Every structure is written in structure tokens, then in C-alpha cells.
Amino acid sequence: MSRVHGVIIAGGKGERLGGVRKADLRIGGRRLVDRVAEALGTVAQPLMIAVGPVDDGRGRREGAVAVTDLKGPMGGPLAGLAAAVVDLQTRGIGDGLLVSAAVDTPFLPGDFMTVMLAALGDAPAAFAGWGTDFYPPNAIWRIAALADLPGQVLAGTAPGSLKALQAHMAARNVDWAGRCAADPFLNVNTAADLLALGRRGTPSSRA
């Protein structure tokens, strides 16, 4: 089996949450970054955390490495993924697999990596879906298929988003409906989301 590396996409500014780092928010008493890292399980170490354009020291996790966006015209999750690719290339890693997950996905399934790996087949990438909803940051990628992404991000010639990149790559949609009692990829964008998912994270409300 190909070695699987991991990156948590955690560079969002959390503007609708008052500018707080989403990685440091807590659900069920645990930080989001810790919940996601634990769900990713046995990825190759060190786990990468894409922290956005600036590493301000927040949202860190012991044993993980922070990677910052490339200084180019493109930002967001796409730039975070490209930063992870640069980090791998710097370490001499040009093949194998890379699993990515959004930091604000507190109920990422514990078998996420296993299921995505099995579903990848011979495709260059696969992303998670739930019925008609889809979650581009929660995905698995062939590292070799991303080799040109950093240069494209720097030059402004990359597809404009992870969704567009996956469409360009003909990535597979892995539908998780039926695998879990509720959508495990719902994310935290607002205070209302945090409250709703916090209620889901209490012992009495777990599926």
C-alpha cells in the first residue's frame, strides 16, 4: 500500500466567528484540530497543518508541522493544499498519497482515510460527498498528480478552487450517505453552526 501523508486545511480566518482560529474552537471539550487529527489516524508523520498566509502560532498541534500558503495571487484551501505539496517535495516525497481534511469538520469519521483509499482506485483524486452535497477539502490525492500545483498557484494559472481542481482531475465522488447516521462533514462557519454541532457532540445526542 502506498504511504499516506496528511494535511489539515486550517487557514480560514473565521471572520463570521469573530476572527477566532477555527482550529482552537472546542466541541465536546476537544479542539477541532485535535478531533480531526485523531480521526485521520495513522497517516505518515509529521502531520501537516496548512495555517494560511501567516503562521501566528495558533491552531498548532504537538508533533505536527505548520505550512504557510505560497506567496502568490491564489489563497484559500487550494493554496493550503499547494503548501503541503511543497513541504512534501522539500522532503523528497514525490509519490504516494496525500489525504486532506478541513479543520472545521469535527465529526470526520475515524475510517475516513481507509474508505477514501479503497474508493480511490486508479483515479488521481477522490473527494467526500453526502448525497448531493460535496466537500472538496475532505479528499485523497495522488501526490504525483499534484506535482505542478505549487507552480500553478504561484503563477495564478491553477484552477480557482479545490472543486475546480477536482473537476479538472476527474476526481471521484465518494458518497458517504448510508455509512453514517448523519452527515459527518458538516462544518463550522458561524456561531450557530458551532452551537448546533456542539449539541451533536454531547453524549446524549451522538448518533
Q: How far apart are CA 78 and CA 113, in angstroms?
A: 20
Task: Decide: 174 and 126 in contact? Cβ < 8 Å.
Answer: yes
Residue 69 scores a pLDDT above 70: yes
pLDDT tens for residues 6-42? Answer: 999 998 665 555 567 788 888 888 899 999 999 998 8
User: What residues contact residue 147 under an 8 Å CB cut-off, 6+ apart?
Assistant: 85, 89, 94
Predicted local confidence at residue 19, as pLDDT: 60
What domains sit in the chain, N to C, each tagged with a CATH number? Answer: 4-201 (3.90.550.10)
Q: Residue 169 — very low, low, confident or very high, per pLDDT cuts 50/70/90?
A: very high
Predicted local confidence at residue 29, as pLDDT: 84
The cell numbers describing 11, all together, are: 487557514
Give the number of residues written for the chain: 207
Predicted local confidence at residue 4, as pLDDT: 95
pLDDT tens for residues 109-166? Answer: 999 999 999 999 999 999 999 999 999 999 999 999 999 999 999 999 999 999 999 9
Q: How many CB atoms lie within 10 A of CB 93?
A: 15
Q: How far apart are CA 62 and CA 158, in angstroms?
A: 32
